[in-house]
Structures are given as C-alpha cells and as structure tokens.
Amino acid sequence: MESEEMSSLQHQQAKTAVISGNLAIKWGIYLYGIYALFLLLECIDFLAYLHTPDPGYHPTYNIVHVAFFIVELIVYVSITLGFIIQLNVSDKKPATVIVTVLLITGIRIFMVYYLYLQSEPEVHFVPYIYKKSNELSGVVRSLLISAQIIWGIICLWVWIIAGKKVNKSKANFQVASK
C-alpha cells in the first residue's frame, strides 16, 4: 500500500516536472519567435532603405548583405517551429529536449562570441550591417540574445530535473510491477 502511494507521488512529481519543462519550452518559443519577428522587421527595413534611401544618404550595404539576414530569419523561424513541434510531442524524452536545447544554446553562445566579441566587423561571415535601421535595433538585439542564452540555461536545468524525476518514477513503476 505504501509502495503504491510512493509510486503515485513520484509519478505525480514527474508529471509536474514535465509540465514545468513544457512551460520552459513555451518561453523558448516566445523568445525565438519574437527574435524572428524582429529579424523580419529588420529585413523589411533594410530592403526599404535600399529601395528608397533618404535624400542625401546611401546605404552602406547591398541586397547580398540583406540576404544574410533573410537566411538568419529562416534559421530562427525553423528553430521556433522545431520548439513548437517538440512542445506538441506527447511522449518526448527529457534527454532529447536536453540535447536539443544544449545544442541550440551552445551554437547561440558561439555566435554571440564570434559576431560580437572575437572578430572585427570586416571578417564576419555574416555581414556587419547592424547599423541603426531603427532606434530600438541594438536594444532589442542585446535583450533578446541575452534572454535566449539565459533561457537555454534555465531550460536545461528544468529538463535535467524533469529527466531525473521521470527516470525515478519509471524505475519505481518497474519495481512495483514485478
């Protein structure tokens, strides 16, 4: 009797941990989705400036540079859709979520290091046209990029805890079944 109560309690804790993990994934969807929307606005802004520059001004970039932003936009939309798919998978394994989030967060940290800290703007493989296309560009970029990295670390932590609880619940269920 006591074993069944313990097993039921651990099963409930595992379910709660997975629900918390799904909430963490939702926050990732919001962060990456908002960043993708921001990139879309940036692309439209850059293209509009290429098409109709202000009198007396000329753009310091061309359509090829904007194409890099469009590729970045496609990548972030894909990441967002991937997280949406992962959220809607009902029997996802915590290890799968951990590996996915770890990979994406690791790549994000590397890209931040490479694009903003390590190299000079002339040698970026993504052209450095982060000029002020609008006044909030730098603020939005710095806030969202930082939030994505912090989210990745928190999401990893939540899913590691969820994975431990799920594994413990499964182990106790298997022992109780025998």
Band of pLDDT at residue 178, cut at 50, 70 and 90: low
Higher local confidence (pLDDT), 34 or 5: 34
Rounded Cα gap, residues 14 and 141, in angstroms: 36
pLDDT greater than 60 at residue 175: no
pLDDT digits over 89-128, tens only?
Answer: 988 889 999 999 999 999 888 877 776 666 555 555 544 4
pLDDT score for 134: 62
65 or 158: which leads in pLDDT: 158
What does the alpha-carbon distance between residue 97 and residue 81 come to, in Å, rounded to a whole number? 14
> Comparing 14 with 86, which gets the higher pLDDT?
86
Using the structure block, give the residue that is written with the tokens 């806030």.
143
| Burial class for 47, CB neighbours closer than 10 Å (0-12, 13-18, 19+) | middle
Residue 161 reports pLDDT greater than 80: yes
- Between 148 and 118, whose confidence is greater? 148
Task: Compare 3 and 145 and report the one with higher pLDDT.
Answer: 145
For residues 130 and 45, the model is more confident at: 45
d(Cα 160, Cα 156) in Å, to the nearest integer? 6
Give the range among 55-64, 147-156, 166-175 with minimum mean pLDDT.
Answer: 166-175
Choice between 119 and 38, residue whose per-residue pLDDT is larger: 38
* 76 and 36 Cβ atoms separated by less than 8 Å: yes
